[in-house]
Amino acid sequence: MFMSRKHLSRRTVLKGVGTALGLPLLDAMIPALTAEERTAAGASQLRRLGFVYIPMGCDHSRWTPAADSVLQDLPPILSPLESLKDRISVLSQMELRNAWPGTHATSNASFLSAAHAKRTESNDYYLGTTVDQIAAARIGQESPLPSLELSMDLIAAVGQCDNGYACVYQNCLAWSSPTTPLPPEANPRIVFEQLFGDGGNATDRKAALQRRASLLDSVRDEFARLKKTLGPADQQRIVEYQESVRDVERRIQQAEAAAADDQLPDVDRPVGVPASYGDHARLMFDLQKLALQGDLTRVVTFQMARETSNRSYPEIGVTEPHHPLTHHGNDPEKIAKMAEINKYHVSLFAEFLQQLQRTPEAGGTLLDHVLYLYGSGMGNPNLHDHINLPIVVAGGAAGRMQGGRHITFDRPTPLANLHLTLLDRVGVSLDSFADSNGRVDDLFEPVSI
């Protein structure tokens, strides 16, 4: 580990038994400059891009803001984002042309690729490199993990899943090439070890767990030595980061202990995760926060549920499975219950953004220095269409994004235009992406309120 009282490397890690713990961005990692220069220098390093996928579209009547241009009162589904209104923008009339014909498989597959999925039930699947992996190939090489792929559901289905399409199209959001899907991980313990362990196979990781009671215990001496070289503000950041890591680890251990006594685990979730969907989602979001804060990765994808998910949500009073509710046939009661699920997903994303907003970093907050796209590859699930997708962009992009907007296009506009623009904002310049025909530059211009 390299340390200096004048300048600390951004690549500094703390070594322990089976552990390599990254650190949050500290003042000591930025050269001695003026306050303004320090903020600019820190922000220039912070190029992070995240994508959160929700399945099966939404109820547009409860999703779409009433006013164009400036976000005013948020509609019911988006209301959990009210306190973050100046850090989000809603985009209407975006489409995925290459997701047709309307299927669940192509909704998921095209969301980040904007590409046409080859119809096959075998292993000769073919799609396109996804936007997250284009970013990972550039900005992801500067972090220990080029990208992080997460989900909420155990990938158990193989073969044909939807209308002649291989299950891989529904299982995987990220593709590093047209023929290379990247399976996401739903088990928080495995993700935790992926982020903070030294690597190795599952057996090695299990042995490392048995050698230590806590990740932070194994690097306690390293933390103590490091803190002696830091100023008061950095010391406080270190303490808060320690507490966050320990809290996540504790919750994982509690979930594992509970799972050991669970004789009838939910088939939609891997053994060892919290029994509650909300607790599981919060844990996966917290792992994203730690990964971004510690610069362990700069690119994240997160599938909050798979297409055709039959998960129910008794914690919000919806006991019917999600997928049948989306085939509502314009039944007001079914639509209302579907909208409650939509709102619940948004509320969990809002909690995550609030966590980022509460985390100081480089003269601002962690939320200021990320870009997240939240949305679905399906518009109206009752019609299985791919127009007017529910899309939200959140974050500050290190001062390069102005929120508080509702951008409505006068005609269906390729989602690829937004992907191309997001790549621009994290320093990855391309002439085009998939079926793009322009950019969404006004998303990043100041707005007068």
Q: For the chain, list the domains and their CATH numbers.
A: 50-191+272-444 (3.40.720.10)
pLDDT tens, position by position, 218-277: 667 776 777 777 778 777 777 777 777 777 777 777 777 776 665 544 555 566 688 899
Best-predicted range by mean pLDDT among 92-96, 139-143, 235-239, 423-427? Answer: 92-96
How many Å apart are CA 406 and CA 306, to the nearest integer?
A: 27
What's the CA angle centered on 310, arms 308 and 315, to 5 degrees? 135
pLDDT value at position 396?
87
Helix, strand, coil percentages, rounded to 5, for the chain: 40, 15, 40
How many Å apart are CA 388 and CA 92, to the nearest integer?
A: 6
Element (H, E) at 327: none
CA distances for 380 relative to 52, 89, 346, angstroms: 18, 20, 17
Question: Where is average pLDDT lowest: 154-163, 200-209, 249-258?
Answer: 200-209
User: Are 65 and 90 a contacting pair, CB within 8 Å?
Assistant: yes
How many Å apart are CA 377 and CA 391, to the nearest integer?
A: 9
- 236 versus 214: the higher-pLDDT residue is 236
Q: 307 pLDDT exceeds 80?
A: yes
Per-residue pLDDT averaged across 299-323, rounded?
96
pLDDT value at position 41?
45
Percent of residues, the chain, with pLDDT higher than 90:
58
C-alpha gyration radius of the chain: 22
- If pLDDT is split at 50, 70 and 90, which confidence band does 437 have? very high
Per-residue pLDDT averaged across 333-340, rounded?
98
pLDDT value at position 150?
97
Question: Where is average pLDDT lowest: 131-145, 353-367, 399-413?
Answer: 399-413
CA distances for 239 relative to 2, 29, 223, 235, angstroms: 20, 17, 9, 6
Q: 158 pLDDT exceeds 90?
A: no
- If pLDDT is split at 50, 70 and 90, which confidence band does 419 have? very high
How many Å apart are CA 169 and CA 307, to the nearest integer?
A: 10
Per-residue pLDDT averaged across 11-17, rounded?
59
pTM for the full predicted model: 0.84
pLDDT value at position 22?
67
Q: Is the dihedral of CA 387, 411, 394, 45 positive or negative?
A: positive
How many Å apart are CA 117 and CA 160, to the nearest integer?
A: 13
pLDDT value at position 37?
43
What mean pLDDT value characterizes the chain?
84
- 271 versus 411: the higher-pLDDT residue is 411
pLDDT value at position 117?
97
DSSP H helix total and E strand total for the chain: 14, 16
pLDDT tens, position by position, 358-405: 999 878 899 999 999 999 999 999 999 999 999 999 998 656 677 899
Interacting residues of 36 by C-beta distance below 8 A, sequence separation 6+: none
User: Are 245 and 22 a contacting pair, CB within 8 Å?
Assistant: no
pLDDT value at position 445?
57
pLDDT tens, position by position, 110-129: 999 999 999 998 889 999 99
Report the SS3 class of residue 413: strand
How many Å apart are CA 398 and CA 45, to the nearest integer?
A: 9
- The closest alpha carbon to 309, from 327, 325, 321, belongs to 321
How many Å apart are CA 8 and CA 74, to the nearest integer?
A: 43
Give yes or no for a cis peptide into 101 (omega within 30° of 0): yes
How many Å apart are CA 115 and CA 173, to the nearest integer?
A: 12
pLDDT value at position 255?
74
